Amino acid sequence: MKDMEKRIIKTLCTKASNKQLVHRQALASFELLKTVLKLVAKSLNDQVCRVDKHVVVEYVERSEHEVGITFSGDTLIFLFHSNAFKLPDDHFLLATPYVREDGNRKYYGLIHAYNFLSDSMKMRRMNDLGPLISRLLINGEGHHFAEGGTGLSMPLTENGLDEAILKSWVERLMIHAMDMDLVIADFTDFREITVMELEGLRNELRLQTSKRLGFRPS
């Protein structure tokens, strides 16, 4: 029994302690992201409204762990996951000296970035899709990297996140979202609908709408 107790205490003082540290670092990064999103939204909105008052850039806080920025017809939603995750066994970082010299460095907190149509939120079109376009990973030392499509990833950086890094990431996500135009679905996809579907269309546009391309994390 003593051996089991010692093993439990050792795990709590090492792995569990590190996971708590990862959580605190990732949460602090998410709080900083909130500040950056507010600043970006205000700056862009002030400038754009001088040209067209109908084009609004707005920061939205949906919950403690879910925030977003709405612009044109797009909304970026950022979700903070409260758990710490271990890198998968086939992840390239596990074979690097960086992780080999400290096993705690393979645990990360996650911030996911999704791209939704603004009307999907406004009109509560529950069938609409929002692709994951990037995600930010932060470990217990505050070191970080980002996964995503072309131009949306960031290499591992052995420094803490700051406003400039997050602002650059957010701006690249916004450009990516605006470059992804809606494409009309094939005519044959919607040749027939049921009476029940028609009833649903009277209340909301239930023909599933989404951007064409997302990012599927490895």
147-163 pLDDT per residue, tens: 998 899 999 999 989 99
Rounded to an integer, the average pLDDT of 164-181 is 94
pLDDT at 205 over 70: no
- Number of domains present in the structure of the chain: 1
Distance CA 60, CA 94 (A): 37
Q: Is residue 149 part of a domain?
A: yes
Residue 90: what pLDDT? 95
**134 Cβ contact list (under 8 Å, min separation 6):** 113, 146, 147, 148, 149, 152, 153, 169, 173, 215
Confidence of residue 118 (pLDDT cuts 50, 70, 90): confident
pLDDT at 12 over 80: no
pLDDT at 132 over 70: yes
Nearest to 91 by CA among 132, 160, 139: 139
Distance CA 26, CA 141 (A): 10
Q: Is residue 216 part of a domain?
A: no
Q: Tokens 């791209």 — which residue?
A: 115
Neighbours of 135 (CB within 10 A): 22
Task: List phi, psi (to 5°) of 123.
Answer: -95, 5
Tens digit of each residue's pLDDT (9 = 90 or more) over 101-113: 999 999 999 999 9
Token pair of 16 as six digits: 């569990």
Q: Is residue 143 part of a domain?
A: yes
Angle between helix axes 163-179 and 17-48 (nearest 10 degrees) is: 60
Q: Is residue 118 part of a domain?
A: yes
Q: Is residue 72 part of a domain?
A: yes
Q: Is residue 212 part of a domain?
A: no
Residue 201: what pLDDT? 63
Confidence of residue 40 (pLDDT cuts 50, 70, 90): very high
Q: Is residue 32 part of a domain?
A: yes
Confidence of residue 218 (pLDDT cuts 50, 70, 90): very low
Distance CA 95, CA 216 (A): 22
211 or 148, greater pLDDT? 148
pLDDT at 211 over 70: no
Residue 191: what pLDDT? 67
Confidence of residue 7 (pLDDT cuts 50, 70, 90): confident
What does the mean pLDDT of the chain come to? 87
Name the residue range of residue 145's domain.
2-203
Q: Which of 21-25, 166-170, 199-203 has the lowest mean pLDDT?
A: 199-203
pLDDT at 216 over 60: no
